[in-house]
Structure 1
């Protein structure tokens, strides 16, 4: 596979300034957000569903995305597979700005990707 899903997410533009985002630190708040729709990015053809039972499903650039997640110490922790390529376990800072949800790897210390709820 030419591009890895994590690589694709690392190139997604962040759509608003940092001060516009509000941290999501509670699992129930995160689940309420995920009930509002799928996480999408039109340019990269990404559609991912995060379900309350700890599953991640969808596709990106035409390849299937599967995985599982947990909520640990205020962070979204996930492991995924994208078209046969493993995306290693990582805990991410989650922030919200309207219908945008931003995930920042390494508990907020790494690259960020903003996805739209649709």
Structure 2
């Protein structure tokens, strides 16, 4: 039974990290310092996912009851990250970052892929 739960959780986690509602006024973040100012000491949360992006380049949190760890850098005006969420590894991906008030959007594959919106708390 645990294997079925684990195999079900990985696709569910991927879909939670990909689904996104519309934002009203998105402002693209292209500067590491501006990004750091938004996330420093804050929690990024959405649908069973809670993450902290630290200035030392680490990512920690929980997703659907599983620990999440990862690393990030800022390259070419984009957030580039790797993630490990239990039995699921998310390869390095550079993402366009935009903000709208207390919401932040990550647009994968250099702005051409899936979108994940988080609340900044």
- Fold in common (TM above 0.5): yes
Q: Where does the alignment leave 5 or more consecutive residues of structure 1 unmatched?
A: none
CA RMSD of aligned residues (A): 1.2
Whichever structure has more helix as a proportion of its residues is: 2
- Ranges of 4+ aligned residues in structure 1 off by more than 4 Å: none
Which TM-score applies when normalising by structure 2? 0.88
Name the TM-score, length of structure 1 as normaliser. 0.90
The number of aligned residues is 113
Residue 27 of structure 1 corresponds to: 32
* 5+ residue gaps, structure 2: 1-5
Out of 100, 104, 109, which is 2:103 matched to?
100
Match of 1:78 among 81, 87, 93: 81
**Residue 76 of structure 1, CA deviation:** 0.2
Give the drift of 1:36: 5.4
1:25-81 deviations in whole A, cap 9, x for unaligned?
00000000012511001xx21110000000000001111100000000000000000
Bigger Cα Rg: 2
